[in-house]
Structure formats: C-alpha cells, structure tokens
Amino acid sequence: MPNIIRLIAGFALLGGAVALFIFGFWPWGIIAILLGIIVLVTYFFNENMLLAQWFLRKDNMPKAKKFLDRITNYETQLIKVQHGYYNLLIGLIESRTAPMQSEKYFKKSLALGMQMDHNIALAKLSLAGIAMAKRNKREATMYLAEAKKADKNKLLADQIKQMKDQMGMMDKQQQVRYR
C-alpha cells in the first residue's frame, strides 16, 4: 500500500473514532483509534521491513528475502530514513550467498545514511570482512577502525576483536608463504 494511502486511511480512522466518541459509541471509538494508530505507525515502520528483520534475527534467510522482495521500489514504498536500512538488510542476506556482491549494498546503505550507530558499525564491519577476503589489508584496517569508532555501545566488540585476530593470522600466513 502506498504511503499516501496509509496516511489518508489512518487519519480517516482517527476522524471516524472522534465521531464515534461524539455519538456515544465508546467501545467502537477505542477500537477505531487503535486501528488508526496502527495504520499510521506502518507509515514510519514498513511491515515488510519489520518482518524481514524479525526473520533475519531468527536466521530464516528465505523468508526474510521473501518479505524484502515484496518491496518492489524502495524509493517510493519506504520513507527516506529507511532506504539505508533496506540496503543493509539486502546486503546481509546477500552476504550469506554471494559475499563479494553484497559489498555494493553495504556501501549504498552507508551512502544513504542510517541513524543508529550500531547499524553503521555492522555495515563497516561487513565491508572490512569483504576487504579481508579480497586481501586488501589497508582497506580492511580502515573499515575496522571506523566500525570500532561507530560501535559506541560495544555491541560488536567481540566481532571486531575476532576480525583483528583474523587479520593478524593473515599477516602470519603471508610471511610463511614468502619464506
């Protein structure tokens, strides 16, 4: 459902609820207010994005991809704030099947912007992993430092430490090759 229709339907339900209160139908007015609030909330939080995030947390990639595929044109169906998160979710799903192809989605999500620091840190940590897979240590180090700076609540501290350890192992493998 397009966003403008959501807004019109939400405000129509709220207006109908006020009319129901005026005419004395309190139970129906309360139900109409709750429905109107739910419809207005879906303007800011797209239901397909919410379901995709939920299935992503449950590690059910096919269902998460199915709900993201329902969003045919994210620029018109989502508000501007959600564009970066959409690309982040697509990148996370793609990273399971084709890690090198997911790089463009992570970069696009960072370019479009995200509000939460831990999501920025997640995108940069994923880019660091891709750079390590490409054997580009300088870029991986840069993304890892940016991810550490963006992870203010230390939600990804273990993953960042593990990635640094893997980079150290990468140096040792290169030294053994050249001997």
Q: What proportion of the chain, given as a percentage, has pLDDT over 70?
A: 94
Tens digit of each residue's pLDDT (9 = 90 or more) over 61-97: 999 999 999 999 888 888 888 899 999 999 999 988 8
What is the average per-residue pLDDT within 127-141? Answer: 89
pLDDT score at 98: 85
Structure pTM?
A: 0.79
pLDDT score at 179: 55
Among the ranges 12-26, 45-59, 65-79, which has the highest mean pLDDT value? 12-26
- Say if CB 55 and CB 63 are below 8 A apart: yes
Residues 47-58 as b or e (16 or more Cβ within 10 Å = b) = ebbebbbebbee
- Say if CB 128 and CB 140 are below 8 A apart: yes
Residue reference for tokens 């018109």: 76
pLDDT score at 12: 95
For the cut 80, the answer to whether the pLDDT of residue 3 exceeds it is: no
What's the pLDDT band for 124 if we cut at 50, 70, 90? very high
pLDDT score at 96: 87
Cα–Cα distance for residue pair 130/133, rounded to 1 Å: 5
In the chain, which residue ranges form alpha helices assigned H by DSSP? 3-22, 26-44, 47-57, 61-69, 74-77, 83-97, 103-112, 117-133, 137-150, 157-178
Domain ranges of the chain: 1-44, 46-178
pLDDT score at 164: 86
pLDDT score at 1: 62
Mean pLDDT of the chain: 88
Task: Please tell me the CATH code under which domain 46-178 is placed.
Answer: 1.25.40.10
Cα–Cα distance for residue pair 8/141, rounded to 1 Å: 49
pLDDT score at 175: 58
DSSP 3-state assignment of 46?
coil
pLDDT score at 120: 92
Cα–Cα distance for residue pair 73/15, rounded to 1 Å: 31
pLDDT score at 171: 67
